[in-house]
Amino acid sequence: MVVIMHINDIAQGWNWLLLAICLTTTLGSTVPVGYFFGVLNAPAEIIKGWCDNILASEYDTNTSWSQLDLLWTCIVSIYLIGGIVGSCFGAFCCNKYGRKGTLIISSIILLICGILFTWCRAAKSLEMLMTARFFGGIASALIVTAQPMYLLELAPVELSGSVGVFTCIGVTGGILLSQIVSMPQLLGTEENWPYALSFYALLVLICLLPLVAFPESPRWLYLVKGDVDGSTAALQRVRGAQSNVQQELNDLHLTLQSNQKASSICEVLKDSELFLPLLLVCAFQATQQLSGINAIFFYSLSILTKAGFSANLATWLNMGIGGFNLVASLMGPVLLRKFNRRPLMLISCGLCAVSLAGMSISLYCMLSTESNALGIVSIMFILTFILGFQLGLGPIAYFIGSELLEDAPRPVAMSMGSLFSWIGNFLIGMCFPLLQNVWSSFAFMPCMCICLLCLFLTWRYLPETRGREPKDVKPLMSQGLRSKF
């Protein structure tokens, strides 16, 4: 429904090529990112058993349950470490090879990882499994850095919010797809789990050929490569053969005159005028993960079980929550096209904070009284949290850097935002189980505090960016923390 509404709105900038680029980069790039996050959950015990057998047969090592859990933690978290590593050179790749070029490189890495996943069991190799997870994290970090920039630099300014949410939709859809594919009724079995891990590679392979044929970012061609003819051709392709792109080319020429080359990370960090936008980008990306969205999905299954549902029914209901997450994310293109960024972020952070507090209290009461009704209340708070998350924290954090910063510092800012996102995800993965052991249901309270802090930063420092060029937003933040709106 969302897509059809925008297709009909051709006069406002949408055309078939732009839509095809959005869908292809989402299915072939960001869906695999979400897929990596969720695919290990269902077949976890099966893969643990395989790891135990490999250690005994190939390495003559007998492991305890605690040692096996430590190994499993390494297998899961090495993907996040790869994401942190990939974020460190995401800006370099985007400037050196282009936005589309970086996505192509990421696709090739993901295909190689898919091959390693497919053959790791036959080769009896833990190293292949962990190598695939690590390089999958690197590829995912490059995608999260490049894909939002690629789409926003191709789209006209009035569509920046609509195309920016495709990153969030892809990650959300990838998580749901991994839950479905890794079910015991499909590929989550002792015989087929390697194919469950590598299933995403089919999407990457299908989308790689059209990705190669798509135009490169016109802004990158003009401002970084100095290819005026290539930039003109790319703009004419993505706007339509009959469109007049001279005004956009004039704007690019003025941008090139005012800023000759891409900024390095040292130049960005030393520029006091970039401090506030860089702070907002990193804070939003970190809050996106530290809000506890991944912990919620991990905890929802146990909530459903404790609420009195059978294990099988709880699994299906948990998948339903994942489906609700995807449906909520599909509202993004409409909401961000019709409403401003500031109110959406304020409502999102506030609703997430309230939901986390309500969920913590209801979980505590449920565990104390063993009331099934309170389990239903907890599930309602989970759904409310997901809805609030998809209003702002989910989609806006991915693309706000492209609306706040001009072309020169943009790759560095997006790469640093990605770095903080992966670090936040890693911290949640490492710290939340410890908090859960100590504080039980109140383990979500630090996440609530993070949401409240993001609420303050949004209210105090985020300028409205909808319908504005970054050059118009820049003066509003030039005074750093002393800036006033």
Say yes or no: 355 and 421 in one domain: yes
Asked whether residue 250 is domain-assigned, the answer is: no
Confidence of residue 7 (pLDDT cuts 50, 70, 90): very low
Q: Which tokens sit at 474?
A: 């820049």
Output 77 or 304, whichever has higher pLDDT: 77
Mean pLDDT across the chain, nearest whole number? 87
Say yes or no: 358 and 454 in one domain: yes
Confidence of residue 43 (pLDDT cuts 50, 70, 90): confident
Digit-coded pLDDT (tens) for 288-332:
999 988 778 766 766 677 666 777 777 788 788 889 999 999 888
Confidence of residue 269 (pLDDT cuts 50, 70, 90): confident
Which of 214, 248, 275 corresponds to the end of one domain? 214
Confidence of residue 8 (pLDDT cuts 50, 70, 90): very low
Q: Which amino acid is at 388?
A: G
Asked whether residue 1 is domain-assigned, the answer is: no
Asked whether residue 2 is domain-assigned, the answer is: no
Q: Which residues contact 448 (CB under 8 A, 6 or more apart)?
A: 352, 353, 356, 357, 360
Asked whether residue 238 is domain-assigned, the answer is: no
Say yes or no: 171 and 276 in one domain: no
CATH of residue 114: 1.20.1250.20
Confidence of residue 266 (pLDDT cuts 50, 70, 90): confident
The number of folded domains in the chain is 2
Say yes or no: 209 and 270 in one domain: no
> What confidence score (pLDDT) does residue 308 get?
66
Residue 217 Ramachandran class (φ > 0 left, ψ -120 to 50 alpha, else beta)? beta
Find the range with the poorest average confidence among 103-117, 140-154, 274-288, 314-328: 314-328
Which range marks the domain in which residue 192 is found?
12-214
Asked whether residue 220 is domain-assigned, the answer is: no
pTM > 0.75: yes
Q: Are 393 and 284 in contact (CB under 8 A)?
A: yes
Alpha-carbon dihedral of residues 287, 291, 295, 296, nearest 10 degrees? -140
pLDDT at 212 over 90: yes
Confidence of residue 127 (pLDDT cuts 50, 70, 90): very high
> What confidence score (pLDDT) does residue 4 get?
38
What does the pLDDT average to over 215-242?
89
pLDDT at 91 over 50: yes
Say yes or no: 81 and 149 in one domain: yes
Say yes or no: 99 and 155 in one domain: yes
pLDDT at 474 over 90: no
> What confidence score (pLDDT) does residue 2 get?
38
Count of CB atoms situated within 10 Å of the CB of 331: 16
Say yes or no: 192 and 270 in one domain: no
Which of 176, 199, 214 corresponds to the end of one domain? 214
Q: Which tokens sit at 214?
A: 């798509």
Asked whether residue 117 is domain-assigned, the answer is: yes
Of 110, 100, 101, 169, the closest CA to residue 137 belongs to 110
Asked whether residue 243 is domain-assigned, the answer is: no
Which of 189, 214, 239 corresponds to the end of one domain? 214
Say yes or no: 169 and 271 in one domain: no
Say yes or no: 194 and 283 in one domain: no
Output 244 or 178, whichever has higher pLDDT: 178
For residues 342 and 346, give the distance between their C-alpha atoms in angstroms, rounded to a whole number: 6
Q: Which amino acid is at 232?
A: T
> What confidence score (pLDDT) does residue 139 get?
97
Q: Which residues contact 484 (CB under 8 A, 6 or more apart)?
A: none
> What confidence score (pLDDT) does residue 14 get?
81
> What confidence score (pLDDT) does residue 81 get?
94
Confidence of residue 6 (pLDDT cuts 50, 70, 90): very low
What long-range pairs does 271-275 form, CB within 8 A, spacing at least 24?
Answer: 271/409, 272/480, 273/474, 273/477, 273/478, 273/480, 274/405, 274/409, 274/413, 275/480, 275/481
Q: Which residues contact 177 (CB under 8 A, 6 or more apart)?
A: 31, 34, 35, 200
What does the pLDDT average to over 51-60?
87
Q: Which residues contact 415 (CB under 8 A, 6 or more apart)?
A: 87, 88, 89, 90, 91, 94, 145, 265
Say yes or no: 415 and 295 in one domain: yes
What does the pLDDT average to over 18-31?
95
pLDDT at 104 over 50: yes
> What confidence score (pLDDT) does residue 3 get?
41
Asked whether residue 6 is domain-assigned, the answer is: no
Confidence of residue 196 (pLDDT cuts 50, 70, 90): very high
Say yes or no: 209 and 272 in one domain: no
What does the pLDDT average to over 175-201?
92
What does the pLDDT average to over 139-166?
90
Say yes or no: 208 and 270 in one domain: no
